[in-house]
Amino acid sequence: MTIPRRHLFHIRPRRQEYDAIIVGSGMSGGWAAKELTELGANVLVLEAGPMIIPERDYAEHLPTYQMPYRGWNDRKAVAAEQPIQGQCYACDEVGRKFFVNDIENPYTTEPDKPFLWIRGRQVGGRSIMWARQCYRLSDLDFEANAREGYGVDWPIRYADLAPWYDHVEAFVGISGRAEGLPQVPDGVFLPPMEMSCVEEHVAGAIDSAFGGTRRMTIGRTAVLTRDHKGRRACHYCGPCHRGCRTRSYFSSLNATLPAAEATGRMTLRPNSVVAEVVWDPGAGRASGVRVIDAETHDEMEFHARTIFLGASALESTRILLNSKSPDFPDGLANSSGVLGKYLMDHTMDVGARATFPGWEDRTTRGRRPNGIYIARFRNVTEPSPDFLRGYGYQGSARREGWGRGTSMPGFGAGFKSDLFRPGPWSFGIEGFGECLPREENHVALDPDQVDKWGIPTLRISCDWGDNERAMMRDAALQAAEMLEAGGGRDITIDTEMTPPGLTIHEMGTARMGRDPATSVLNAHNQAWDVPNLFVIDGASMASSGCQNPSLTYMAFAARASHYAVWAALRGEV
Amino acid sequence: MKRRTAIGVLGGVAGAPVLMPLDEVGRMLAWREQVLASAGLAGGDGAASTNGPADGGGVQAPSLLTPERSRVMEALAEVIIPETDTPGASEAGVTGFVAALVDGWLADDDRDRFLAGLDTVDPACRERFGSPFAECAPGEQAAFVGDLDEELTRLREDPAADETQSFFHNVKRFTLTAYFTSEAGLDALGYRTTFRTFEGCAPLTPREAGR
């Protein structure tokens, strides 16, 4: 991207008022920047971390032999600086620079309730390292809370969001296959990637074994299968999380921020840690934000007519909790008292793996940055007596590589030539399960701890509930049954859930709703209490669905941006 | 990684993910391993360590993989991955990677166990064959490594044992990783960085088919 340097550095606060300040330059902040500037607004984008310059910072093609630890990561540095971030697969020897330093960015949990908060502070945020899977929510999700009495009813339905899914998908570029499944509605798709031989086979076997109630499709992913809006088609090198110089996968850095920059109406200020949103009691609105320069620790204020928080669910929540005033002693926009509560993530890592005899003369060619998806069937096409809602599976089948040699007997020329040949086909699938919104899963400001910039940190209290545990027991069993139906051998089942947080789908702590007494945001991601404040990231979610959520955040961010502009024109904001 | 191996990691052995070489599709497995590995790290070794990365900057202390140990490691590696119609482990330069692991990656107790194991090789070979390992005849080297490999297999099949504690387990996995991530090893595999498209069901190349 070509952001002129004049926009990047040494911007001092001026009395100038922007039309909008956007806090966060990642998935949702990038969308707000694009939409607002294209509608004519002058925006200031504040990013807590440094600028990322793809030509300098992306390293997806760095060969393993140029890494000191050959991809095994700088284990001692990770243990010392990133003991939490290092648990994410993408925080690897090359990619770990895109994850925060845990010592500079502490938070606390209860001893028996680990929560792994995975964070990226840089221009582009976590959209640089995301796993790129894109699935729409449906009315099965938007109606679930009202139907079952959990949480609060979503103030919108699928019809409200569908045009915004269309809008963002057309720009993002998502490869996938239309399936006509109501629980994961079809979208605007680029050509799908191929399934592997074994995936095709098992997809067919599942279809017949379960009477058509379960559908495996190729993953829907924000990776280009053909050139799209000035970005190049994927070249299947593999490690997307280390960046992509051809901009073949979507990130704010690869796509929305350059679009905003092209309007000439975006000012981007990296190294700008937002401590709070400033409340103007006389005007009854937010007047700006208080910022601490990440490098100099200088404090300053920026002013705007509207404020958009897209700093990630928990960071946006933390900023609001820290924005205390006589009018809002428990945090800005928190007259309801629900700010920080109803934290959710998706369950993950429970599933099964099997090997598949056959197809010995075939293999996959290229490193597909995508897997397969098995759409949710529980409480859709097949009921479950044990739990509410459901889960989808993700996974992939490919031939094993040389790594299998570590646990194989043998050595010498024959052993070596064995390892030069692909190993057996191995197929693993894992369930991503919906998490119910529960009040006790919450975050609050820690009275005893601040981060490197003197800002109070979060205390996070979160655990899986009985519904999630029952759901994942079923997910492991059904995974094994499906692999067995496809002819899998040596099936192993994984039943251990990873702690919440690690799925990196944390959400829900400033939820939307229909009632200002029980929710923070209205149907337009607008704070009930503060008409010129919008929260456009995962904090706004009233329920989690089981779908990877970034696509939904993008749709919400675009929709809220358009709403804000029209509301401003009407004089309502 | 088998569950039992994972438990071994929790016990403090080599707390880091098994390499999923540049392969995003294996991410789920890697993810599980990282969680377990990190739990191992949180348990003690590492976090308090002052050892920096082997970044090549500044004055470096001499490697704990001394020339003598390096000679043994290189010779063992060459027996595991010998030169054939493609380069062997020695030509691929495995000892640089092993030195980096010994000096900056392995937890202290794992490092000590590995080096102690390496130090038993030459004395054992002198006693058995009259020469240090690197100078033994090919048949003698194969017999020696064969015994180590058999012992490793026995440990792997014993539910009460943890084969990851065995020094030869590390010799083997360091060798394979060093070789297959080296420039020579990747060339020998026919490794390509980029592809025009992804094929889900492609015929094997003659090289992959072993022809």
pLDDT of residue A191: 98
The string of DSSP codes covering A69-137 is TTTS--HHHHHHH-TTGGGSTTSSTTGGGGS--TTTS--EE-TT---------STTGGGGT---B----
**What value does the mean pLDDT take over residues A16-21?**
92
The C-alpha atoms of residue A65 and residue A340 are separated, in whole angstroms, by 45
With CB atoms and an 8 Å threshold, state whether A365 touches B199.
Answer: yes
**Unique residue bearing structure tokens 């064959």:** B129
**Domain ranges, ordered by start, for chain A:** 16-569
> Distances in Å between the alpha carbon of A135 and those of A154, A182, A543?
18, 12, 15
Lowest mean pLDDT among A169-178, B39-48, B171-180, B183-192: B39-48
**Unique residue bearing structure tokens 């996938």:** A176
Contact A392, A431 (CB under 8 A): yes
The identity of residue A271, as a single letter, is: N
Count how many Cα atoms sit within 13 Å of the Cα of residue A125 in the half-sphere of its side chain.
Answer: 27
Contact A18, A305 (CB under 8 A): yes
With CB atoms and an 8 Å threshold, state whether A64 touches B22.
Answer: yes
Beta strand pairing call for A299-309 and A442-450: unpaired
Structure confidence by residue, pLDDT tens digits, A520-567: 999 999 999 999 999 999 999 999 999 999 999 999 999 999 999 999
Whether residue A515 is predicted with pLDDT greater than 90 in this model: the reply is yes
Closest chain B residue to A103, measured at CA = B47
Instruction: Find the Cα–Cα–Cα–Cα dihedral B166, B170, B173, B177, rounded to 10°.
Output: 170
DSSP label of A65: G
Residues ≥6 apart with Cβ < 8 Å to B142: A412, B79
Q: How confident is the model at residue B59 (pLDDT cuts 50, 70, 90)?
A: low
What is the SS3 assignment for B15? coil
Closest chain B residue to A130, measured at CA = B24
pTM for the predicted model, two decimal places: 0.91
Structure confidence by residue, pLDDT tens digits, A199-258: 999 999 999 999 999 999 999 999 999 999 999 999 999 999 999 999 999 999 999 999
The token pair that represents B32 in the structure block: 């599980």
Q: How confident is the model at residue A13 (pLDDT cuts 50, 70, 90)?
A: low
pLDDT of residue B30: 43
Contact A89, B30 (CB under 8 A): yes
pLDDT of residue A15: 60
Q: How far is A305 from chain B (nearest CA, A)?
A: 43
Q: How confident is the model at residue B26 (pLDDT cuts 50, 70, 90)?
A: very low
Cross-strand bridge partners of residue A108: A459
The C-alpha atoms of residue A2 and residue A409 are separated, in whole angstroms, by 53
pLDDT of residue B13: 28
**What value does the mean pLDDT take over residues B155-164?**
92
Q: How far is B207 from chain A (nearest CA, A)?
A: 8
Closest chain B residue to A71, measured at CA = B19
Residues ≥6 apart with Cβ < 8 Å to B91: B83, B184
CA-closest candidate to residue A573, choices A531, A528, A529:
A531
Q: How far is A409 from chain B (nearest CA, A)?
A: 6
**Among A196, A413, A494, whose Cβ lies nearest the Cβ of B82?**
A413
The C-alpha atoms of residue A250 and residue A127 are separated, in whole angstroms, by 8
**Domain ranges, ordered by start, for chain B:** 1-44, 62-190
Whether residue A343 is predicted with pLDDT greater than 60 in this model: the reply is yes
CA angle, corner A115, sides to A111 and A121, nearest 5? 130
**Among B21, B82, B156, whose Cβ lies nearest the Cβ of A407?**
B156
Structure confidence by residue, pLDDT tens digits, A263-277: 999 999 999 999 999
The C-alpha atoms of residue B207 and residue A416 are separated, in whole angstroms, by 13
With CB atoms and an 8 Å threshold, state whether A76 touches B55.
Answer: no
Whether residue B52 is predicted with pLDDT greater than 90 in this model: the reply is no
CA-closest candidate to residue B23, choices B184, B164, B198:
B198
Whether residue B53 is predicted with pLDDT greater than 90 in this model: the reply is no
Q: How far is A227 from chain B (nearest CA, A)?
A: 12
With CB atoms and an 8 Å threshold, state whether B204 touches A416.
Answer: no
Structure confidence by residue, pLDDT tens digits, B108-141: 999 999 999 999 999 999 999 999 999 999 999 9
pLDDT of residue A385: 84
By the CB < 8 Å criterion, does A403 face chain B?
yes
Contact A496, A349 (CB under 8 A): yes
Q: Which residue has the higher pLDDT, A53 or B20?
A: A53
CA-closest candidate to residue A231, choices A273, A199, A197, A259:
A259
Whether residue B3 is predicted with pLDDT greater than 80 in this model: the reply is no
**What value does the mean pLDDT take over residues B139-145?**
98
With CB atoms and an 8 Å threshold, state whether B200 touches A197.
Answer: yes
Structure confidence by residue, pLDDT tens digits, A387-400: 999 999 999 999 99
Instruction: Find the Cα–Cα–Cα–Cα dihedral B189, B190, B193, B197, rounded to 10°.
Output: -120
pLDDT of residue B7: 28
With CB atoms and an 8 Å threshold, state whether B35 touches A498.
Answer: yes
Residues ≥6 apart with Cβ < 8 Å to A459: A107, A108, A109, A443, A444, A445, A446
> Distances in Å between the alpha carbon of A160 and those of A117, A129, A154, A155?
31, 29, 11, 10
Structure confidence by residue, pLDDT tens digits, A79-124: 999 999 999 999 999 999 999 999 999 999 998 999 999 999 999 9
Structure confidence by residue, pLDDT tens digits, A408-457: 999 999 999 999 999 999 999 999 999 999 999 999 999 999 999 999 99
The C-alpha atoms of residue A113 and residue A82 are separated, in whole angstroms, by 19
Q: Kindly indicate whether the ipTM for this predicted assembly is greater than 0.85, answering yes or no.
A: yes
pLDDT of residue A14: 54
Through-space distance between the first and last CA atoms of chain A, rounded to whole angstroms = 32
Query: Does domain A16-569 fall into CATH 3.90.550.10?
Result: no
Percent of chain A whose predicted confidence (pLDDT) is above 90: 96
CA-closest candidate to residue B185, choices B81, B41, B53:
B81
**What is chain A's mean pLDDT, rounded?**
96
By the CB < 8 Å criterion, does A151 face chain B?
no
Whether residue B37 is predicted with pLDDT greater than 50 in this model: the reply is no
Supply the angle between the helices B27-42 and B3-10 in degrees, to the nearest 10: 30
Lowest mean pLDDT among A315-329, A509-523, B14-28: B14-28
